[in-house]
Chain A
Amino acid sequence: MHAFRQILRIETRLYLRDLPTLLTTVGLPTLILVVIGLVPSLRKPDPTFDGQTFVSYFAPSLLVVTLAMVGVNTLPSVLATYRERGVLRRLATTPAHPAALLAAQLVLALAGILASAVLLIVVGRLAFGVPFPRHPLGFALAFVLGTASLLALGLLVAAVARTTKAAQALAVPLFLVTMFFGGVYLPRFLLPDVVARIGDYTPPGVQALLDAWTGTSPQPLHLAIMAVIAVAAGASAAKLFRWE
């Protein structure tokens, strides 16, 4: 526990030192929100979106941006780099277990995601009248399970990829698919219905986020699927993870 705290302290410093990554992780979704929000017609309530504005309708997809970036991109590539460079192995020769470093990275990934989400929600509320999530409990649940499912997938990538290159080769398509089904590239109302329905069940479960944000409780099945993915991917990652 002591070693974990020390490692977390140092890893936090390293995380804050990598300014470009930090800014992208925390700020990119909000930046996109601001750009979209500057278009007046996108701030008008529209029947296509059940009387909400496009900005409100699109906000959950912006959350997907951070979740995908951190979960399936940054996390696995950091872990794969640490393994490839022998950082994990070197730690294994000391009284600290390399799992402490992995745990620290998870904490930082969560912190980045949380900071990004809070910034997005607050700026959306203050600048563009996007309401705070109307079903807070449901939103928290959808957010936690969605995050868990993507982080678990990221860990699985880190577990099976032997090198940094291999990790990226796996992470990039996973990232693109997550973003696509999350309605980031094309807003979901433009996607064919079947694609949008698939997106309800791909991590992080953007429909559950949207439902909770706009007021109805998320559908249990959507949440359950995220939980199943999180547990299955997490367990496989734990089983397959290589320290060297």
Chain B
Amino acid sequence: MSVIEVTHLRKRYGDLVAVDDVSFAVEPGEIFGILGPNGAGKTTTVECVAGLRVPDGGGVSVLGLDPRRDAAQLRQRVGVQLQESQLPDRLRVAEALELYASFYRNPADPAALMDRLGLGEKRNTAYKKLSGGQKQRLSIALALVGNPEIAILDELTTGLDPQARRDTWGLIEQVRDSGVTIVLVTHFMEEAERLCDRVAVIDRGLVVALDSPAGLVSRVAPEQRIRFRPSAPVDDRLLSDLPEVSAVQRTGSQVVVTGTGDLLHAVTSVLARHQIVAADLRLEQSTLDDAFVELTGHRPVD
């Protein structure tokens, strides 16, 4: 059974349709990504899931419950990190975590959580004095301090440096491994590729694709390209006869083969059979970036 089900969700702000028609289901234990350009309706969607906004249409069910009607129950079981939400300037890290921990029936240990998020040394630092990345990590910690079954993280690593971003990914994987289902709103393709089991791409309030990151890439931009310099002359037809190959071009001494499927294996084995060595071999694959551009017509930020 899905832990989150969103069906034909619709949400307007006055005349502006922020979410037009969004449906997806999140399975237990997965990391579900929500990707999309600025203003696509990602935050609005997860805020409806978190029960912070009332949808104008469609249905949302979380852990089999209604986010508005069963809000009291769900707040114990769902942790939320909001995209734009700060804390009082003078509140210290440990105070914030201990305060939030006190709201839950079965909280995590604030001290352990601080250590896991690299905030141990900052425990007595006021919120105002934290760096952007430290604020972000505190925000993640607050979403996890209730030991939630579902964590909704909006813009998890925005504002973090590359190292902190990787550390946070490691942390999220640990959290997932402990059985928490995670909904992750992100702008970073690398993050989605690394973390997400499945991704919904939202554009202008609509789901334009829903698949695994690899699935999205191969569906939208399946082309792969191999470049190499053959050690001996190769007949083009040797390569173009392969079912995986769609085109063979030459630029100087270089051969460029484009195609789909298991292209690399097909090309290298046919070359090996003819005792040709492929020097300077490079495989260029489409990435989630390309898929994103293809799907939304926008360059992803970063």
Residues of A near any B CB (own CB < 8 A)? 2-3, 6-7, 10, 13-14, 17-18, 82, 85-87, 89-90, 92-96, 244
A7 to B99, CA, bound (A): 7
- B45-98 contacts to A (CB < 8 Å): 50, 52, 72, 75-76, 78-80, 82, 84-88, 90-91, 95
- B284-299 contacts to A (CB < 8 Å): none
- B16-71 contacts to A (CB < 8 Å): 50, 52
A sample of 21 cross-chain residue pairs with beta-carbon separation below 8 angstroms, ordered by A number, consists of A3-B102, A6-B99, A10-B95, A13-B95, A14-B90, A82-B88, A85-B86, A86-B84, A87-B87, A87-B88, A89-B52, A89-B85, A90-B87, A93-B52, A93-B80, A94-B103, A94-B146, A95-B76, A95-B103, A95-B104, A96-B103
Q: Chain A: which residue is nearest B75 at the CB level?
A: A95
Q: Nearest Cβ in chain A — how far from B212, in angstroms? A: 29
A14 to B102, CA, bound (A): 18
Q: Is B196 an interface residue (CB 8 A)?
A: no
Q: Nearest Cβ in chain A — how far from B231, in angstroms? A: 62
Tell whether, in the assembled complex, residue A14 and residue B85 are in contact, meaning their CB atoms are under 8 Å apart. no
Residues of B near any A CB (own CB < 8 A)? 50, 52, 72, 75-76, 78-80, 82, 84-88, 90-91, 95, 99-100, 102-104, 142, 146
Contacts of A96 in B (CB 8 A): 103
Contacts of B91 in A (CB 8 A): 10, 14
Determine which residue in A85, A90, A93 has the highest number of CB atoms from chain B within 10 A of its CB, and name it: A93
Contacts of B103 in A (CB 8 A): 3, 6, 94-96
Contacts of B99 in A (CB 8 A): 6-7, 10
Q: Nearest Cβ in chain B — how far from A191, in angstroms? A: 40
Tell whether, in the assembled complex, residue A2 and residue B88 are in contact, meaning their CB atoms are under 8 Å apart. no
Tell whether, in the assembled complex, residue A92 and residue B87 are in contact, meaning their CB atoms are under 8 Å apart. no
Which listed residue, A82, A92, A95, touches B52 by the CB 8 Å rule? A92
Contacts of A7 in B (CB 8 A): 99
Q: Nearest Cβ in chain B — how far from A161, in angstroms? A: 18
Q: Chain A: which residue is nearest B142 at the CB level?
A: A90
A85 to B135, CA, bound (A): 13
Tell whether, in the assembled complex, residue A90 and residue B72 are in contact, meaning their CB atoms are under 8 Å apart. no
A18 to B128, CA, bound (A): 13
Q: Nearest Cβ in chain B — how far from A158, in angstroms? A: 16
Contacts of B146 in A (CB 8 A): 94-95
Q: Nearest Cβ in chain A — how far from B302, in angstroms? A: 24
A10 to B98, CA, bound (A): 10
Q: Nearest Cβ in chain B — how far from A236, in angstroms? A: 23
Q: Chain B: which residue is nearest A5 at the CB level?
A: B102
Q: Nearest Cβ in chain B — how far from A69, in angstroms? A: 19
Contacts of A85 in B (CB 8 A): 85-88
Q: Chain A: which residue is nearest B79 at the CB level?
A: A93
The verdict on A87 contacting B100 (CB below 8 Å), with A14-B91, A94-B146 known, is no
The verdict on A87 contacting B85 (CB below 8 Å), with A13-B95, A94-B103 known, is yes
Q: Chain A: which residue is nearest B84 at the CB level?
A: A86
